[in-house]
Copies of this chain bind each other. A is one copy, B any other.
């Protein structure tokens, strides 16, 4: 598609990166700019000039451990990470940072072993999704902003202070972990933990490591990156919550004990057990509602009552062959991409019930935000009622149509749709 540039990943031949992608995945796309300034410079020279041109980033560096390393170590100045040739400056990748911070980088890479979801696999997850390729790049540019957590370290440690203290605070996580379907932000700050952080956190000493006794309440990193470990996967049971899991497998019982050990920094282990059992119960009840809705959809599909019928939808461009061999997918389990777009109203309602209502309730239950648990289950119950009512209407309509010997034609509106033929025209 693109002549001069192409994407990365499985479908890299089918899409072309936007210029801004260079900043989200510098390892893949960054090309040195031919800057106005020529020459090779050492750190002190960089600082001298940039103190006037971009003083903010120089101030950040001055406050950093890079500028004032512990002990007798030499400072790491601008050229240490960006190179000294002003015509060939680099944007550092995690591997560049890992050259010094090998423990953290190694822990980070270790996450890959645990599969999706994963910080270390986030960029691959984005660009290897068919709907990423098929959607206009104007919409998916924002995807890369969060998924760049895999490809640059300053998602969490903002340049140029690169402070560990910053990343200990919950705000380091919330640029990405907020909004439906992952309201970690909203549910943490609505919890008793979060509200105490909000009230008093500005006065705490964030230079202290995340170990017990140092903070009155935990932050995201305290529990999920225990003692600063750059790997959040080894305790994950429900993960993003998009599937039901059996929380009581032998493996998950081991993980559970790891969670209880975290909680026991402050709470009785029995309280942690009861809390986590409550989370599992919440999930069980939520999934019961989701399964009921999904069963309704399957029955409708079986009776050919969905408009447009799952097999009659326009395929995604990358799935163009499906127009010859249509696949009647509904819901998440039968193909994620099918759940989002070009579906009948009742299927979209189910999708939102699953992705927004259900996951909102999950995060609320996990983080201890009681109002948001209630709101999530209110919404689940309301969505299930809506799905049931819509199904009743579709069945009534179907009966009437059969009696009259007619069949509503959804018309040409459904012959094409968003994210179908779009990428045939433009990026």
Q: Is the CB of B175 within 8 A of A191?
A: yes
Shortest CB distance A343–B (Å): 8
Q: Is the CB of B285 within 8 A of A59?
A: no
How many copies altogether?
3
Binds B, one of A233-241, A273-281, A321-329: A273-281
Give the residues from 191 to 237 in chain A that come closer than 8 angstroms, CB to CB, to chain B: 191-192, 195-196, 198-200, 202-203, 212-216
Over the window 272-294 of chain A, the binary record of Cβ atoms lying under 8 Å from chain B Cβ atoms (1 yes, 0 no) is 01110110011011000100000
Interface residues of A, CB < 8 Å — how many? 109
Q: Is the CB of A171 within 8 A of B158?
A: no
Q: How far is the CA of A145 from the CA of B171 in the complex (A)?
A: 25
Q: Is the CB of A374 within 8 A of B199?
A: no
Give the residues from 252 to 290 in chain A that come closer than 8 angstroms, CB to CB, to chain B: 264-266, 268, 270-271, 273-275, 277-278, 281-282, 284-285, 289
What residues of chain B lie closer than 8 Å to A386, measured between beta carbons? 345, 348
Q: How far is the CA of A345 from the CA of B20 in the complex (A)?
A: 39
Which partner residue on chain B sits nearest A404 by CB separation?
B400
User: Which single member of B138, B172, B341 contacts A285 (CB below 8 Å)?
Assistant: B138
Q: Is the CB of B20 within 8 A of A277?
A: yes
User: Which single member of B33, B175, B345, B377 contacts A385 (CB below 8 Å)?
Assistant: B345
The answer to the question of A388 belonging to the interface, with a C-beta cut-off of 8 Å to chain B, is: yes
Q: Is the CB of A139 within 8 A of B282?
A: yes
Q: Which of A33, A200, A307, A348 has most chain B Cβ within 10 Å?
A: A200
The answer to the question of A60 belonging to the interface, with a C-beta cut-off of 8 Å to chain B, is: yes
User: Which single member of B23, B136, B384, B408 contacts A396 (CB below 8 Å)?
Assistant: B408
> Assuming the A-B contacts A202-B202, A266-B56, are A146 and B370 also in contact, with contact meaning beta carbons closer than 8 angstroms in the complex?
yes
Q: How far is the CA of A345 from the CA of B383 in the complex (A)?
A: 10
Q: How far is the CA of A340 from the CA of B410 in the complex (A)?
A: 28
The answer to the question of A174 belonging to the interface, with a C-beta cut-off of 8 Å to chain B, is: yes
Q: How far is the CA of A320 from the CA of B408 in the complex (A)?
A: 41
What residues of chain B lie closer than 8 Å to A265, measured between beta carbons? 54, 56
Give the residues from 149 to 191 in chain A that come closer than 8 angstroms, CB to CB, to chain B: 158, 161, 166, 169-172, 174-176, 178-180, 182, 185, 190-191
The interface residues of chain A, by DSSP majority, are classed as helix
Q: How far is the CA of A422 from the CA of B215 in the complex (A)?
A: 42
The answer to the question of A381 belonging to the interface, with a C-beta cut-off of 8 Å to chain B, is: yes
> Assuming the A-B contacts A20-B274, A143-B374, are A382 and B281 also in contact, with contact meaning beta carbons closer than 8 angstroms in the complex?
no
Q: Which of A56, A57, A212, A275 has most chain B Cβ within 10 Å?
A: A56
The answer to the question of A418 belonging to the interface, with a C-beta cut-off of 8 Å to chain B, is: yes
The answer to the question of A137 belonging to the interface, with a C-beta cut-off of 8 Å to chain B, is: yes
What residues of chain B lie closer than 8 Å to A408, measured between beta carbons? 392, 396
Q: Is the CB of B23 within 8 A of A138?
A: no
User: Which single member of B54, B180, B411 contacts A375 (CB below 8 Å)?
Assistant: B180
Told that A56-B214, A344-B389 touch, could you supply 5 new A-B pairs with CB distance under 8 A?
A139-B285, A139-B373, A142-B374, A185-B190, A348-B386
User: Can you identify 16 A-B contacts, CB atoms within 8 angstroms?
Assistant: A19-B273, A58-B213, A59-B216, A139-B282, A142-B282, A142-B365, A142-B370, A142-B371, A143-B374, A145-B370, A169-B199, A178-B371, A179-B374, A340-B381, A388-B414, A392-B413
Which residues of A are at the interface with B, using a C-beta cutoff of 8 A?
Answer: 18-20, 22-23, 33, 54-60, 136-139, 141-143, 145-146, 158, 161, 166, 169-172, 174-176, 178-180, 182, 185, 190-192, 195-196, 198-200, 202-203, 212-216, 264-266, 268, 270-271, 273-275, 277-278, 281-282, 284-285, 289, 307, 340-345, 348, 352, 364-365, 368-375, 377-378, 381-382, 384-386, 388-389, 391-392, 395-396, 408-411, 413-414, 417-419
